[in-house]
Amino acid sequence: MKEALFDGYASDYDEWFVANEKVFLSELGLLKKSLGDNPGRTLSIGSGSGLFEQALRQQTGINVEEGVEPSKDMAAIATKRGMHVQIASAETADLPDEGYDTIYFNGSSSYISDLTVAYGHVASGLKPGGRLILLDVPKESAYGLMYMLADALGGYQDSRLTGALPKFPYPADFLNLAQWHTTPEKAQVLTQTLGFVDVSYYQTLLASPAYADQAVEETVPGYDKGGYVAIIAYKK
């Protein structure tokens, strides 16, 4: 998660979610389901503008006040939304040893090259029995494949993509910043490399990306169909 990766793009990030409100609410539902009713002391890694955390607080009563975010622009907005944000990356954040019950990456794993280093560093901040939650677009999903194809074609303007895209696709400037990972890849790092246990999965955005913003989607168990997937694992 590179320093200042999203500086200059904070408004674009929020505007995309405003334009895709039902996608946002679907992803928010996945985050809420993953956190449960009482997540304890919780930290958001790659907290961005704090948009999700603000909505969590307003719509569900779950209050996530602490975040880590490498972009100063994003962090400034999150601070205005009531968060306490450390400007750092997942790999460099200064975390209290075993200080958190829950730590989550909401969409930020796709901007991390070495998952083992990032997750391993963050794991030191989890209490024994604490949860690490990874929410993201899987590389192998319809969304992941669409984004990689658009990036390979130089953006969304290629005529071969006509009719296959959402009305408001994810900003093209973000695509070449991403480093996509499959769900099994992330789970393998957690279990086989870092020793996390009791892994479970939830998913949403099962509709084709071209139709995803037509309705707010439910969260269901599993990871084999969703365009946005949560991996939940526990620290020994």
Residue predicted with more confidence, 2 or 162:
162
Average pLDDT, the chain: 93
Instruction: Kindly tell me if the per-residue pLDDT of 173 is higher than 90.
Output: no
Q: How far is CA 2 from CA 87, 108, 232, in A?
A: 11, 11, 24
Convert the pLDDT of each residue in 66-82 to its tens digit. 999 999 999 999 999 99
Domains delineated in the chain: 10-138+181-208+215-234 (3.40.50.150)
Query: What gap in Å lies between CA 217 and CA 27, rounded to an integer?
Result: 9
pLDDT score recorded for residue 4:
52
pLDDT score recorded for residue 6:
45
108, 74 contact by CB (below 8 A): no
Max Cα distance, the chain (Å): 52
Query: What gap in Å lies between CA 234 and CA 138, rounded to an integer?
Result: 20
pLDDT score recorded for residue 14:
82
Which amino acid makes up residue 87?
I
pLDDT score recorded for residue 2:
46
Select from 103, 99, 85 the least CA-distant residue to 42: 103
**Average pLDDT score over residue span 159-177:** 91
Q: Where are the alpha helices (DSSP H) in 163-206?
A: 172-175, 183-188
Banded pLDDT at 10 (limits 50, 70, 90):
low
Instruction: Kindly tell me if the per-residue pLDDT of 7 is higher than 50.
Output: no
Banded pLDDT at 171 (limits 50, 70, 90):
confident
Half-sphere exposure of 17 (CA within 13 A, CB side): 16
Strands 197-204 and 228-234: antiparallel
Residues 6+ apart with CB under 8 A from 40: 100, 101, 102, 130
Banded pLDDT at 11 (limits 50, 70, 90):
low
194, 89 contact by CB (below 8 A): no
Q: How far is CA 3 from CA 32, 80, 112, 214, in A?
A: 28, 21, 11, 35
Strands 66-68 and 84-86: parallel
**Average pLDDT score over residue span 109-124:** 97
**Average pLDDT score over residue span 178-201:** 97
